[in-house]
Amino acid sequence: MKITSKYSIDDCVFIANQINQQNKVKANFWVQLYYYFVFANCFALSAFLFFLGYYLAGFILFLINLFFIIFLSDKIKNESYKTYYANFFSGDEYKETEIELLEDGISCKSIDGDSFFRWQNLREIVETPDKIYLFTKSNGITVAKNSFEFETQMQDFLIFAKARVPQNLLK
């Protein structure tokens, strides 16, 4: 089964976030240092100001840091991913990929190059309202649902993919 699909910068950001979520356990030294800094800045520094009697300053600092942690941290991460992937798109909003499901894996061909993923390397299949994502341990493939002419083609695609992935590997 062969289809031509388009993917965007937002798809690359979704894949990067998903893979980072899967590999969060393997946080390196710098990521851990960042979390220690956020903890120290949000809680320890605020507590220190409270201890010194600067209650209002400690409370305001705590609220600012809490706002940063809750609302801005993911936004900054996503924007940095978008900036990174914008270099690969060089003005084009979408890139086209030819995806072919074969008996031994998935073949992807685009203007940037060809890649092949064995079924044994597939870890997760995620469906959103408009996309299907196929994830390996360190990469992902985007298939736009509007790439299929009929709903049955999309269902056949999913059935074919799910039947070839070893079930013990799927998340």
Predicted confidence (pLDDT) per residue in 88-105, tens digit: 666 666 778 888 888 888
Q: Tens digits of per-residue pLDDT, 6-49? A: 777 788 778 887 777 766 655 566 667 777 787 777 788 888 88
Q: Is the pLDDT of residue 164 over 60?
A: yes
pLDDT-derived band of residue 56, with 50, 70 and 90 as boundaries?
Answer: very high
Do 89 and 95 form a contact (C-beta atoms < 8 A)?
yes
CB 42 within 8 A of CB 65: yes
Query: What sign does the dihedral 30-35-39-41 (CA atoms) show?
Result: positive
Confidence of residue 120 (pLDDT cuts 50, 70, 90): confident
Task: Indicate if the pLDDT at residue 158 is higher than 60.
Answer: yes
Domains of the chain and any CATH numbers: 2-7+93-164 (2.30.29), 20-89 (no CATH)
